[in-house]
């Protein structure tokens, strides 16, 4: 549970969430803006202390560790991937990954070689010496994922990792996260409202007002692609199927030309 502030300005951002993630599993947590996704992820990654409750990674209770142990624990056990990449702008692609290794106590040639191998594996062999400003969004996110994987962490935590990427690059990023789970046994937790990420998830959870709700009550708006709660949502029956919308505007657009949106939904990924 996480409560920000006190009294009148108090926000209960996460309320009584219970979640267990296995090795090799990709869990996607979806939910509208402000539902507590980033707060939950920050608590899972020891970047934010819960107001109450505990977080265990491989049997270690993060919430019981003294503040002084957290940076080292984070560096070794977690890989973070953010919406805006969070690369260090003064460092090259190679140095960004190396730096993450240095933080976990791996240095010198070992760090350099491991960083280089990872980046080459991600098709960035020609970009090793480039600073982030010289890289495309997709390249930056691949560097960020290489950095997240560098220390062979138990857990990868990704906050809206595809939000700033076009759909082709978004799929590539999703594939790399899937591989980290399937081939390397990492536990991957992604928070996002990008419905395309459902394809790579073993489980999809829906967070709303800081609590998990059953995903079966959710549908995807065929117009804007947003996940919407079926109950109370504007809907429209077409061709024997009921479609749900985030707003009256999306419903109107759909009703005017259903085939426009249904074709798009059916187009192969």
Residues near ligand ADP (CB under 6 A): 4-5, 11, 13, 31, 33-39
User: With respect to ligand ADP, which residue has the nearer C-beta, 39 or 96?
Assistant: 39
- The one of ligand ADP, Mg ion, none whose footprint includes residue 147, by CB under 5 to 8 A per kind, is none
As measured in angstroms, the least distance from the Cβ of 190 to ligand ADP is 12
- The one of Mg ion, ligand ADP, none whose footprint includes residue 187, by CB under 5 to 8 A per kind, is none
Q: Report which DSSP code applies to 9.
A: G
User: With respect to ligand ADP, which residue has the nearer C-beta, 5 or 123?
Assistant: 5
Single residue of 17, 27, 38, 192 touching Mg ion by CB under 5 A: 38
Please count the residues of this chain forming the interface with Mg ion, following the rule CB under 5 A: 2
Distances in whole angstroms, Cα of residue 214 to Cα of each of 119, 203, 226: 39, 12, 16
As measured in angstroms, the least distance from the Cβ of 89 to Mg ion is 22
Closest CA to 195 of 29, 63, 42, 82: 29
User: Six-digit token pair at 125?
Assistant: 């062999």
As measured in angstroms, the least distance from the Cβ of 56 to ligand ADP is 21
Cα distance from N-terminal residue to C-terminal residue, the chain: 37
Is residue 96 close enough to count as binding Mg ion by CB under 5 A? no
As measured in angstroms, the least distance from the Cβ of 14 to ligand ADP is 7
Q: For residue 235, list its beta bridge partners.
A: 244
As measured in angstroms, the least distance from the Cβ of 36 to ligand ADP is 4
Output the DSSP codes for 107-131.
-HHHHHHHHHHHHHHTT-GGGTT--
- The one of ligand ADP, Mg ion, none whose footprint includes residue 31, by CB under 5 to 8 A per kind, is ligand ADP
Q: Report which DSSP code applies to 180.
A: H
Neighbours of 260 (CB within 10 A): 12
As measured in angstroms, the least distance from the Cβ of 81 to ligand ADP is 14
| Phi, psi angles (nearest 5°) of residue 215 | -70, -20
User: With respect to Mg ion, which residue has the nearer C-beta, 38 or 187?
Assistant: 38
Q: For residue 241, list its beta bridge partners.
A: 238
Dist. CA 83–CA 159, nearest whole Å: 6
Interface residue list for Mg ion (CB under 5 A): 37-38
């Amino acid at each position: 549970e996480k409560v920000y502030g006190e009294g009148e300005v108090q926000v209960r951002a996460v309320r009584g969430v219970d979640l267990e993630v296995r090795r090799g599993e990709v869990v996607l947590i979806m939910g509208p803006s402000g539902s507590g996704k980033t707060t939950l992820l920050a608590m899972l990654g020891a970047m934010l202390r819960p107001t109450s409750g505990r977080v265990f990674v491989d049997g270690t209770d993060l919430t019981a560790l003294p503040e002084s142990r957290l940076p080292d624990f984070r560096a070794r056990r977690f890989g973070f991937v953010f919406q805006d990449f969070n690369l260090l702008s003064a460092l090259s692609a190679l140095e960004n990954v190396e730096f993450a290794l240095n933080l976990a106590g791996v240095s010198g040639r070992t760090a350099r070689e491991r960083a280089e191998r990872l980046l080459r594996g991600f098709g960035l062999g020609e970009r090793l010496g480039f600073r982030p400003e010289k890289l495309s969004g997709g390249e930056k996110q691949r560097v960020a994922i290489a950095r997240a994987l560098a220390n062979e962490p138990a857990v990868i935590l990704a906050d809206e990792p595809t939000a700033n990427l076009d759909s082709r690059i978004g799929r590539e990023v999703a594939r790399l996260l899937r591989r980290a789970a399937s081939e390397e046994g990492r536990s991957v937790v992604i928070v996002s409202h990008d419905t395309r990420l459902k394809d790579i998830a073993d489980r999809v959870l829906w967070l709303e007002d800081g609590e998990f709700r059953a995903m079966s009550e959710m549908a995807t708006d065929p117009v804007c692609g947003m996940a919407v709660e079926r109950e109370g949502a504007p809907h429209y029956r077409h061709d024997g199927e009921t479609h749900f919308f985030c707003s009256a505007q999306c419903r109107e657009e759909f009703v005017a030309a259903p085939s426009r949106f249904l074709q798009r939904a059916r187009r192969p990924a």
